[in-house]
Amino acid sequence: MIKELRELGLSGCGDNSCFFEKSKGMSTNGGCRCRPHTWHMAVNKYRGEINRLEVENADLKDAWNKQGRALIKRKRKITELEAENAALVKAAKAVVAATDEARKQYGSVLSFRATTAIDNLAALLQSEGEI
């Protein structure tokens, strides 16, 4: 207890009979004026605060770990979506290329609606820098 109080930076009252700290040099003679009870309360208060902070710290650690797991999950999802997107772009490129080829060979066989849709797809791929 006394060790803890000293660690908190408390010092004695400076009296000859001080129970807490032997006085160095000039000292009084009226009896120790330290208040162990008050100090004890202060230590308990600090202990309470430390416990509270430890609980808060554990909660923050939990939250941090949860966020980390969510982040990993999200990154996996992004990777999946990127792969899916790459497959779709590849398929779209193939459709555009096949349509170009069909136009060269058969021209008017393709309906206006079909060629418009393919042209829109080609424009999209171009705007995305894919072709």
Which residues in this chain contact Zn ion in the complex, by CB under 5 A? 12-13, 18, 32, 34
Quote the CA–CA distance of 87 and 57 in Å, as a whole number: 45
Nearer to Zn ion, 22 or 73 (CB): 22
Nearest distance from residue 11's CB to Zn ion, in Å?
A: 9
Nearer to Zn ion, 14 or 124 (CB): 14
Nearer to Zn ion, 5 or 34 (CB): 34
Nearest distance from residue 12's CB to Zn ion, in Å?
A: 4
